[in-house]
C-alpha cells in the first residue's frame, strides 16, 4: 500500500510481479531485468522503513531518502502509463487473446523494453548516489509498540475540569443587563477554550431566539464565514454576495431578535473588526462569546465596560489526574503501583494542558503496555511543561505522531488536505484513503472495514476529534485541532506529502514535484508553476475562480471539489485513466462529459451539482459508491460491484430500473432521501422496490424517505439466507399503517426508525423479539387513547435508547422486567388537553437500568395549568424510580404531534 514514508514502493513491487506474468515472460531478457529491479526496490523499501523510525537525519541522508521516495512515484507512473497504453483489463493485469497478440509485435516489445530500461536507470542512479556519498543508516532506538484497537473516544473525558468555568461564565451571561454583552475566552492553544465555549453554548442556546457557533480559523474567508453564520440562522444567501451584503443581511435578521453567537478561534484584530458589524445592539439581552489565544484580540473584542475577558487556566492537579487516569485505566485507583511515580512525573510535564493530557494518555491507552520502561521513555521525551510555547506543544503532539505505525501516519497526514475547521465526513475520507492506496488489502481483508479501523484508531489516540455520531457509536464527521494541524503541516512539508495553495501572493518552490494539491484561493499564476501530471489527489475549496485543466492530471486518483463557483469545467475528465474517486459537492454547476466509460478504475462517483450524468456509467466495472442527482441510469443491474447507492429522485425512476436493483447483490447501503419537489411514489414503483429489497441479502442499511404509501412494503419477504440488515430508517412523510410482520425476522437489526399510524400490542410484540435492537425511534401518527404496554419477560432484551413521539405520554405503560438494558428514554408529546389527574408514563420505576429521561413537551395552544400538569406528572413518575435518573424537560411553543386522518 501507499505510504508517506515509503512512497509507492509496495505498490510498485506488486505491479512488478505482474510484469513477471505469463505473457511478459515470453519477452526475451525482460524477466531478468524485472527481477533485478524488484530486488533493488525491496532493499530500498526496507531502508525507507528504517529511516521512517528516526527523528533526526543528516542532510545528505535526508536528501537521499526524499529522492528515493520521489523515484518510487515516478516508477509507478511509468508502469501505470504503460499498462493503460497496452490495454489494462479488470482488477488484475491479465490480457485477452487480442492483447497477447499485440505483445508479440515488435513495437509493443520495444515499448516494454524501453520502459524497463528507464526504470532500471532510475534505480541504479539512486542506488549509486548512496554509495557515492557513503551514507550510513543508523539503527532505530524507538521502543516497539504492541498495537491494539482502543475503545472508542469518550467525549465526556473532555469535560473534566470544565464545570467550574462553565458555571462562572453562565452566571456572567445570565445577568439581566439588556445591552449586548461580549465575553472573550483567551488562552493558549490546547487549554480547552472551544470545549468550554461549546458547553456554555449548549446550556444557554434554548434561552435565545436564535443562536449559532461559527469557527473563524487562522486565515478566514470572511464571505464564507458570514454565509455559514447565515445558514445556521436559517437564512439562504447568494453565492455571489460580498461581505458587505452579507453583513447587512445578518444585521437585518438579528435586529429584532435576542441572539447568542459563538465566534470561535479569532486570530487577528482585523477579522474581528469586520465580523463585529454583523451584530446589532438591540437592547434585547443578546450575548456574544469569542475565543482567541491572543490577548490583544480579546481586548479588542471587549471594548465596552460591561464586556468580560475570561482567561483560561490549566487544569488543577486533581482534574489533571482524573483526566489522565480515566483515559488509560478508567480510574486512578486502577493504575498499577509500579506506574504511579512515573505517571505523576508525566502529569507534571503536561502542565495541566488538556490537549497534552489527552494526547499522551490516549497514546498510552492505545499501546496497552504496562512496562515501566516505556512510560519512562514517554516521560523523558516530554519537555519541561508548565510554560508552553508552540514548539513545546508541538513536541508533545510529535511524540504521539512518532508512536504511530507507518500506515496511520500516512492517513493522518492526508487530513491536512482539508482547510482548518473543515468538517471532514468520515465515509468520504475513508474512500479517499482507499483510492490513494493507503489501506492494506492483505489476507483478504475488506478494505472498507480496514479503513474504518484506521479511522477509529486515530480517534482513539485523540489525534482527530469526532464530530457527531450514529447510534452505533461511529463518528460521522471529524475535525483536526489547530495544534495538531500545525504539526501535520510541518510533517507534510518534511515528506513533501502535499502542497497547499491558500495565498495567491505566495512564492511556489519549483525544486519538487507536487503529489497532492489542495487549493483554497484563485492562485492562477502559482498553478502555472506546478507540474500537474504528478498530482495524485486534487482538492478545490471555497470561491476559487480557476480550475486547472483536468487533462493535465495524468495520474490523478482523487478529485474532490467543494466550491461555490458558478461553473466547474470538467473537460478532460475522461483522460484521467487512474481516477478512483470523484466527488463534486459544489453549490455551483457542472456538466459531465457524455461518455465516462474510459474511467475503468473509478470506485466512487458522488455528484451533487451535475444536472445530468452519462448513461454509460453502467459500464464502470469497479464502481462501488454511486450518488446521482437524477433518476437511476438504465441497465443499473450491470453495476455488480456497487455497494452504496443514493437514489435522489426515486419518484422519477421507472419500475424496470427499480427492479434492476435486485441484481446488485453486493449492495450494502441504499439511501432514498426526501426531496421537496418529488412526486408521490406510485404503487407500481413501491411494488418494484419491495421485490428488489427482498433479494438484497448483503444489505446492511436501508434509509427510505419518500412520498407515497409505505404499506407497499408490507409484503416484503427477507431473503432466506441470514439477513444482514443492521439499520432500518423509514419514511417520515408516509408511515406504515402498522408494524409489518417481516420486521420480526431482522435478527441482526441494531437500529430502527419508523413512523406508524397505530402501535398495537401485537406490533409491540413483533419489535420486542428483535435480539440485538439497541436503538428504537418510533413516531405514532394517529391519535388514539389505547394504552401502549411494554411487557417484561425478555422483551427488548438489548434496547438501550428508546425515542417515542405520540399524542400523550399517559398512554405509555412499562411492566415489570421491561427493557432491562434501557438507559435513555426520550419522549415527545403535547401538553394540550392534559388533565391534572393524569399520570405519565406508568411503570418508569420498572426500567431498572434507566439513567436519563428527557421530555420535549409541545405547548402550542396549551393552557398554563396543562403545561405544569404534564411536567409535574413526569417528575412524579421519575421520583418513584429507585436510582433517581436525570430528568430533562423542555417546553416548546411547537406541536410535536400532528394527527393523521
How does pLDDT run across 299-331, given as a tens digit for each residue? 889 988 788 898 888 888 888 888 888 888 888
Residue 308 CA to chain centroid, in angstroms?
A: 35
- Of 188-197, 441-450, 811-820, highest mean pLDDT: 811-820
| 600 domain-assigned | no
Per-residue cell: 438: 493507503
Contacts 24+ apart (CB under 8 A), 268-276: 268/294, 268/297, 269/296, 269/297, 269/300, 271/216, 271/220, 271/222, 272/297, 272/300, 272/301, 273/300, 274/222, 274/243, 274/247, 275/216, 275/222, 275/225, 275/226, 276/301
583 pLDDT above the threshold of 70: yes
Q: How far apart are CA 638 and CA 143, in angstroms?
A: 51
Q: Are residues 91 and 214 in the same domain?
A: no
Tally the domains of the chain: 4
Give yes or no for residue 139 having a pLDDT over 70.
no
Residue 668 lies in a domain: no
Burial (CB count <10 Å: 0-12, 13-18, 19+), residue 478: buried
Does residue 121 share a domain with residue 62?
yes
Q: What percent of the chain has pLDDT over 90?
A: 15
Res. 537 pLDDT band, cuts 50 70 90: very high
Instruction: Assess if residue 90 is contained within a domain.
Output: yes
Q: For 516-540, b where at least 16 C-beta lie within 10 A, e where not — what string?
A: bbbbbbebeebbeebebebbbbbbb
- The answer to whether residue 560 scores a pLDDT higher than 90 is yes
Grouping H, G, I as helix, E, B as strand and the rest as coil, residue 508 is coil
Per-residue pLDDT, averaged over 232-241, amounts to: 79
Indicate whether 171 and 117 sit together in one domain. Answer: no
Tell me which residue range forms the domain holding 201. 162-311
d(CA 54, CA 405): 13
Q: Give the count of beta carbons closer than 10 Å to the beta carbon of residue 573.
A: 21
C-beta neighbour count of 594 within 10 angstroms: 11
Helix (H) or strand (E) holding 855: strand 852-858
Query: What's the CATH number where 410 sits?
Result: 1.10.10.10
Question: Alpha-carbon distance 418 to 225, whole Å?
Answer: 16
How confident is residue 772, by pLDDT bands cut at 50, 70 and 90? very high
- The pLDDT tens digits of the residues spanning 750-760 come to 999 988 888 87
Are 216 and 127 within one domain? no
Among 619, 624, 611, which Cα is nearest to 635's? 619
Query: Residue 897 is placed in which grid cell?
Result: 404531534
Average pLDDT for 195-222: 86
Phi and psi, residue 548, nearest 5°: -60, 150
**Which residue matches cell numbers 388533565?**
835
Contacts with 88 (C-beta within 8 Å, 6 or more apart), sequence order: 600
Q: Which DSSP state fits 151?
A: P
**Predicted confidence band of residue 679 (pLDDT cuts 50, 70, 90):** low
| pLDDT in the model for residue 864 | 85
pLDDT at position 19 = 63
Q: Looking up cell 484506521, which residue turns up?
A: 454
Q: What is the CATH number of the domain that holds 887?
A: 3.80.10
| Residue bearing the bigger pLDDT, 446 or 189 | 446
Output the domain CATH number for residue 175: 3.40.50.300
Among residues 466, 496, 526, the one where a domain terminates is 496
Decide which of 311, 344, 369 is a domain's last residue. Answer: 311
Average confidence (pLDDT) over 542-561: 83
* CA–CA gap between residue 463 and residue 444 (Å, rounded): 28
Q: With DSSP H G I counted as helix, E B as strand and the rest as coil, what are the percentages for the chain, rounded to 5?
A: 40, 15, 45
pTM above 0.85, yes or no: no
Would the pLDDT of 467 be above 50? yes
Task: Flag whether pLDDT at 20 surpasses 70.
Answer: no
Lowest mean pLDDT among 42-46, 93-97, 285-289, 325-329: 93-97
Residues 173 and 30 in one domain: no
Supply the DSSP string of 157-220, one letter for each residue.
Answer: GGGTTTHHHHHHHHHHHSS---S-EEEEEE--TTS-HHHHHHHHHHHHGGGSSEEEEEE--SS-
- pLDDT tens digits, residue range 112-126? 666 666 666 766 766
Question: What does the pLDDT look like over 868-897, one tens digit per residue?
Answer: 888 888 888 888 888 888 888 888 777 766
Cα separation, 899 vs 896, in Å, equals 10
- What is the structure's pLDDT at 427? 92
- Residue 667 CB contacts under 8 Å (≥ 6 apart), including other chains: 642, 643, 644, 645, 661, 696, 698, 699
CA 28, CA 112: separation in Å to the nearest integer? 11
> Which band of pLDDT confidence, cut at 50, 70 and 90, is reported for residue 212?
very high
- pLDDT band at residue 133 using 50, 70 and 90 as cut-offs: very low
| Whether residues 178 and 287 fall in one domain | yes
Q: Is residue 601 part of a domain?
A: no
Residue 305 makes CB contacts below 8 A (sequence gap 6+) with none
Q: What span, in angstroms and rounded, lies between the C-alpha atoms of 699 and 670?
A: 8
Band of residue 430 on the pLDDT scale cut at 50, 70, 90: very high
Residue 721 has pLDDT above 50, yes or no: no
Burial class (CB in 10 A: 0-12, 13-18, 19+), 777: middle
Alpha-carbon span 166 to 182, nearest angstrom: 16
Contact 269, 300 (CB under 8 A): yes
Query: Would 840 be classed as within a structural domain?
Result: yes
β-strands 516-519, 499-501: how paired? parallel
Contacts of 493 (CB under 8 A, 6+ apart): none
Is residue 853 in a domain?
yes
- Structural contact between residues 795 and 773, judged by C-beta atoms closer than 8 angstroms: no
Question: How many CB atoms sit inside 10 A of residue 241's CB?
Answer: 16
The dihedral sign for the CA sequence 333, 336, 342, 347: negative
CA diameter of the chain: 96
User: What are the phi and psi torsion angles at 179 (to 5°)?
Assistant: -75, 155
DSSP-derived secondary structure letter, 462:
T
Own/partner pairs, 463-472, CB within 8 angstroms, 24+ separation:
463/359, 463/362, 463/400, 463/401, 463/404, 463/412, 464/412, 464/415, 466/153, 466/155, 467/423, 470/727, 470/751, 471/727, 471/750, 471/751, 471/774, 471/775, 471/801, 472/726, 472/727, 472/750, 472/751
666 vs 352, higher pLDDT: 666
Pair 45, 178 in one domain = no
117 located within any domain: yes
Q: Alpha-carbon distance 780 to 471, whole Å?
A: 21
Residue 252 has φ and ψ, to the nearest 5°, of -65, -40
Q: Which of 476, 496, 516 is the last residue of a domain?
A: 496
Q: Is 423's pLDDT higher than 70? A: yes
| pLDDT value at 780 more than 90 | no
**Domain shared by 198 and 289, yes or no:** yes
pLDDT, greater one: 632 or 603: 603
The yes-or-no verdict on residue 801 having pLDDT over 90 is yes
Cα distances from 128 to residues 9, 71, 853, in angstroms, run 18, 14, 71
- Whole-angstrom distance, CA of residue 86 vs CA of residue 109: 11
Output DSSP code: residue 589: E
Answer for the pair 378, 364: CB distance below 8 angstroms, yes or no.
Answer: yes
Query: In this model, does residue 249 exceed pLDDT 60?
Result: yes
Cell of 753: 426508525
Q: Are residues 747 and 888 in the same domain?
A: yes
Give residue-wise pLDDT tens across range 824-870: 999 988 888 787 667 778 888 999 999 999 888 888 878 888 888 88
Mean pLDDT of the chain: 79
3-state secondary structure of 277: helix
Cell of 296: 490583544
Task: Select the more confidently predicted residue: 389 or 699.
Answer: 699
Q: What is the CA radius of gyration of the chain?
A: 30
What's the average model confidence in pLDDT over 30-50?
Answer: 74
pLDDT of residue 342 exceeding 50: yes
- Please check whether residue 457 lies inside any domain of the structure: yes
Grid cell digits, residue 330: 478508567
The dihedral through the CA atoms of 469, 470, 473, 478 has a sign that is negative
755 φ, ψ (degrees, to nearest 5): -110, 130
CA distance 723 to 799: 20
CA of 863: how far to CAs of 806, 830, 831, 859, 869, in Å? 19, 11, 8, 8, 10
- Which of 142-156, 410-424, 509-523 has the weakest average pLDDT? 142-156
Which sign does the torsion angle of CA 776, 778, 784, 785 carry? positive
Question: Does pLDDT of 91 surpass 90?
Answer: no
The whole-number pLDDT of residue 235 equals 85
Residues 187 and 120 in one domain: no
Same-domain check for residues 782 and 841: yes
Residue that the C-alpha cell 419489535 belongs to: 767
Rounded to an integer, what distance in angstroms lies between the CA atom of residue 661 and that of residue 20?
40
Same domain, yes or no: 177 and 292:
yes
Which span out of 160-174, 234-248, 797-811 was modeled with the highest average pLDDT?
Answer: 797-811
Q: Which residue has the higher pLDDT, 426 or 888?
A: 426
- Rounded mean pLDDT, 598-610: 84
Amino acid at each position: 500500500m501507499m505510504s508517506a514514508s515509503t512512497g509507492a514502493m509496495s505498490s510498485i513491487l506488486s505491479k512488478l510481479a505482474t510484469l513477471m506474468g505469463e505473457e511478459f515472460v515470453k519477452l526475451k531478457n525482460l524477466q531478468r531485468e524485472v527481477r533485478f529491479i524488484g530486488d533493488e526496490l525491496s532493499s530500498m523499501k526496507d531502508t525507507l522503513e528504517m529511516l521512517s523510525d528516526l527523528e533526526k537525519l543528516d542532510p545528505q541522508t535526508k536528501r537521499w531518502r526524499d529522492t528515493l521516495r520521489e523515484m518510487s512515484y515516478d516508477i509507478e507512473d511509468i508502469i501505470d502509463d504503460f499498462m493503460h497504453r497496452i490495454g489494462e483489463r479488470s482488477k488484475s493485469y491479465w490480457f485477452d487473446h487480442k492483447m497477447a497478440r499485440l505483445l508479440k509485435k515488435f513495437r509493443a516489445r520495444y515499448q516494454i523494453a524501453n520502459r524497463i530500461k528507464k526504470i532500471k536507470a532510475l534505480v541504479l542512479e539512486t542506488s549509486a548516489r548512496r554509495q557515492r556519498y557513503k551514507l550510513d543508516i543508523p539503527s532505530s532506538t524507538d521502543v516497539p509498540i504492541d498495537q491494539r484497537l482502543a475503545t472508542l473516544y469518550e467525549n465526556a473525558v473532555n469535560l473534566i475540569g470544565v464545570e467550574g468555568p462553565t458555571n462562572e461564565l453562565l452566571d456572567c451571561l445570565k445577568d439581566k443587563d439588556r445591552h449586548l454583552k461580549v465575553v472573550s475566552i483567551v488562552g493558549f492553544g490546547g487549554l480547552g477554550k472551544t470545549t468550554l465555549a461549546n458547553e456554555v453554548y449548549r446550556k444557554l442556546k434554548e434561552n435565545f431566539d436564535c443562536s449559532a457557533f461559527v469557527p473563524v480559523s487562522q486565515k478566514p474567508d470572511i464571505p464564507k464565514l458570514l454565509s455559514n453564520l447565515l445558514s445556521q440562522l436559517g437564512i439562504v444567501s447568494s453565492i455571489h454576495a460580498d461581505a458587505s451584503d452579507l453583513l447587512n443581511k445578518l444585521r437585518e435578521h438579528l435586529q429584532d431578535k435576542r441572539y447568542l453567537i459563538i465566534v470561535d478561534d479569532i486570530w487577528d484584530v482585523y477579522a474581528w473588526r469586520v465580523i463585529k458589524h454583523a451584530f446589532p445592539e438591540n437592547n434585547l439581552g443578546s450575548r456574544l462569546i469569542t475565543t482567541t489565544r491572543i490577548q490583544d484580540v480579546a481586548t479588542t473584542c471587549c471594548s465596552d465596560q460591561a464586556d468580560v475577558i475570561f482567561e483560561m487556566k490549566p487544569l488543577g492537579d486533581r482534574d489533571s489526574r482524573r483526566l489522565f487516569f480515566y483515559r488509560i485505566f478508567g480510574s486512578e485507583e486502577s493504575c498499577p503501583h509500579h506506574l504511579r511515580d512515573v505517571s505523576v512525573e508525566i502529569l507534571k510535564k503536561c502542565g495541566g494542558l488538556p490537549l497534552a493530557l489527552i494526547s499522551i494518555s490516549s497514546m498510552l491507552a492505545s499501546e496497552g503496555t504496562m512496562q515501566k520502561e516505556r512510560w519512562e521513555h514517554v516521560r523523558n521525551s516530554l519537555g519541561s511543561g508548565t510554560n508552553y510555547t508552540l514548539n513545546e506543544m508541538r513536541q508533545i503532539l510529535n511524540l504521539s505522531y512518532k508512536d504511530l505505525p507507518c500506515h496511520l501516519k500516512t492517513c493522518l497526514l492526508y487530513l491536512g488536505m482539508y482547510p482548518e475547521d473543515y468538517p471532514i465526513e468520515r465515509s468520504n475520507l475513508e474512500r479517499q484513503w482507499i483510492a490513494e492506496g493507503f489501506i492494506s488489502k492483505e489476507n483478504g481483508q475488506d478494505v472498507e472495514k480496514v479503513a474504518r479501523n484506521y479511522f477509529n484508531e486515530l480517534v482513539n489516540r485523540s489525534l482527530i476529534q469526532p464530530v457527531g455520531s450514529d447510534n452505533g457509536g461511529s463518528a460521522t464527521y471529524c475535525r483536526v485541532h489547530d495544534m495538531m494541524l500545525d504539526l501535520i503541516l510541518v510533517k507534510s512539508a518534511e515528506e513533501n506529502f502535499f502542497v497547499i495553495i491558500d495565498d495567491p501572493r505566495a512564492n511556489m518552490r519549483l525544486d519538487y514535484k507536487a503529489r497532492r494539491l489542495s487549493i483554497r484561493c484563485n492562485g492562477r499564476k502559482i498553478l502555472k508553476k506546478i507540474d500537474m501530471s504528478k498530482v495524485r489527489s486534487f482538492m478545490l475549496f471555497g470561491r476559487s475562480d480557476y480550475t486547472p485543466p483536468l487533462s493535465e492530471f495524468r495520474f490523478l486518483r482523487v478529485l474532490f471539489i467543494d466550491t461555490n463557483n458558478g461553473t466547474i469545467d470538467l473537460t478532460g475528465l475522461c483522460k484521467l485513466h487512474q481516477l478512483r474517486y470523484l466527488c463534486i459537492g459544489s453549490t455551483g454547476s457542472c456538466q459531465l462529459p457524455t461518455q465516462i466509460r474510459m474511467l475503468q478504475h473509478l470506485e466512487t462517483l458522488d455528484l451533487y451539482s451535475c444536472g445530468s450524468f452519462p448513461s454509460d456509467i453502467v459500464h464502470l466495472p469497479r464502481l462501488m459508491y454511486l450518488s446521482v442527482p437524477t433518476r437511476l441510469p438504465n441497465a443499473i443491474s450491470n453495476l455488480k460491484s456497487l455497494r452504496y447507492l443514493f437514489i435522489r429522485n426515486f419518484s422519477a425512476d421507472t419500475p424496470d430500473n427499480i427492479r434492476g436493483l435486485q441484481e446488485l447483490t453486493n449492495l450494502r447501503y441504499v439511501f432514498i432521501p426526501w426531496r421537496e419537489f418529488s412526486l408521490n411514489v406510485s404503487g407500481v414503483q413501491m411494488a418494484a422496490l419491495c421485490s428488489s429489497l427482498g433479494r438484497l441479502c448483503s444489505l446492511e442499511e436501508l434509509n427510505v424517505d419518500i412520498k407515497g404509501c409505505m404499506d407497499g412494503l408490507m409484503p416484503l419477504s427477507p431473503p432466506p439466507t441470514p439477513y444482514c440488515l443492521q439499520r432500518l430508517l423509514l419514511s417520515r412523510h408516509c408511515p406504515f399503517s402498522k408494524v409489518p410482520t417481516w420486521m420480526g425476522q431482522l435478527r441482526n437489526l441494531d437500529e430502527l426508525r419508523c413512523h406508524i399510524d397505530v402501535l398495537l400490542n401485537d406490533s409491540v410484540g413483533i419489535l420486542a423479539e428483535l435480539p440485538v435492537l439497541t436503538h428504537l425511534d418510533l413516531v405514532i401518527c394517529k391519535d388514539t387513547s389505547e394504552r401502549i404496554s411494554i411487557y417484561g419477560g425478555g422483551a427488548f432484551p438489548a434496547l438501550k435508547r428508546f425515542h417515542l413521539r405520540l399524542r400523550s405520554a399517559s398512554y405509555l405503560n412499562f411492566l415489570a422486567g421491561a427493557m432491562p438494558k434501557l438507559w435513555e428514554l426520550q419522549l415527545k408529546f403535547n401538553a394540550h388537553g392534559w388533565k391534572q389527574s393524569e399520570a405519565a408514563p406508568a411503570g418508569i420505576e420498572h426500567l431498572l437500568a434507566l439513567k436519563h429521561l428527557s421530555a420535549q413537551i409541545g405547548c402550542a395552544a396549551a393552557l398554563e395549568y396543562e403545561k405544569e400538569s404534564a411536567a409535574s406528572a413526569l417528575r412524579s413518575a421519575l421520583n418513584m424510580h429507585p436510582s433517581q435518573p436525570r430528568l430533562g424537560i423542555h417546553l416548546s411553543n411547537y406541536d410535536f404531534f400532528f394527527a393523521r386522518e
